[in-house]
Amino acid sequence: MTSETSTGQDTTHTGNGRAQTGVHIDPSAVKTGRPDRSLSDVPDPVIECKGVDIFYGSFRAVSDVTMLFGRNEITALIGPSGCGKSTLLRSLNRMNDLIEGARVAGVIAYHGQDMYADDVDPIEVRRKIGMVFQKPNPFPKSIYDNVAYGPRVTGMKVDSMDDLVEEVLTRAALWDEVKDKLGQSAYGLSGGQQQRLCIARTIATRPEVILMDEPCSALDPIATAKIEDLMHELRDDYTIVVVTHNMQQAARVADRTAFFTARPDEQTGDRTGMLVEFDRTTVLFTKPADKRTEDYISGRFG
């Protein structure tokens, strides 16, 4: 398989192997829905997707996605159920590798490096690109050990684990609530506290990117507001990509938003996710270029 990069070079993939080459995407190739508009203002893209197809076996779950994720920006992925948002999100740190039969075609690059190249360690990818899941999933350990787990298992060198635990719990807006019970089970925390603990656990390994898969869907409005405030604070130091079914949340937190929909196969009925439009959030929500986007954000479907 051959994927052409924006520089005109070819990246040749033989069998399951992937050659290593520098990859940078021409912003004009990104589908904003407006022929006269490019995303040349995306600041220093950290992750770049070029012609990405994602398969589970022979089933194509996501088709032909080209987009950029800018440094210190929050990008929201929205769209109806089954449109491939979470599938694409999981591909950004190779979580889909854990699913038998999953594979990626096209290029997903991290700082210009094809992260699916043969010589790339997926564990290292996940250290650089952390993930927070839909349902809080603290380990059956103490609050302290939850935070310290990542640095310990990766062999990360730290001057003081106590200082690191305090630092990341403070960054996750949780320190004041748990500082006197660090030795207690994380299961004793509320749902919102558990999710902030999971965020603290994610940033403890010093990632550059945080992926969030509907991080507030299981939380009440107060806990949701705390997570959204935290996202704004973390943006100063991290690039964040969030999947959300809550369009109001996307409007509140995201600098840019990508709208996906699903296209059914006429013969099998299988639904393949596709990127419809990607733009600044204020533009996408107020002046969408594609009628499908307008219909979705106005509640006509989805």
Inside any domain, residue 145: yes
pLDDT at 30: 58
Give the structural domain span for 120: 43-297
The Cα-based distances of 240 to 92, 98, 251 in angstroms read 11, 22, 15
Per-residue confidence (pLDDT) for residue 22, from 0 to 100? 63
Q: Are 215 and 184 in contact (CB under 8 A)?
A: no
Q: Is 27 inside any structural domain?
A: no
Instruction: Look at the chain and report how many structural domains it folds into.
Output: 1
Tell me the one-letter amino acid at 251: A
Quote the mean pLDDT of the chain: 87
Q: Residue 15: pLDDT above 60?
A: no
Kindly report the number of other CB atoms within 10 A of residue 152's CB atom.
13
Please tell me the least confidently modeled range out of 2-6, 14-18, 26-30, 138-142.
2-6
Q: CATH number of the domain that 292 lies in? A: 3.40.50.300
CB atoms under 10 Å from CB of 7, counted, come to 12
In the prediction, which pLDDT does 284 show? 95
* Helix, strand, coil abundance in the chain, percent, nearest 5: 30, 25, 40
Q: Residue with structure tokens 């106590």?
A: 162
Q: Is residue 37 part of a domain?
A: no
The answer to whether position 210 is within a domain reads yes
Please indicate, yes or no, if residue 32 is contained in any of the structural domains.
Answer: no
Which carries the bigger pLDDT value, residue 125 or residue 13?
A: 125
pTM: 0.86
**Is 22 inside a domain boundary?**
no
Q: Is 157 a domain residue?
A: yes
Query: How far apart (Å, rounded) are the C-alpha atoms in residues 152 and 206?
Result: 13
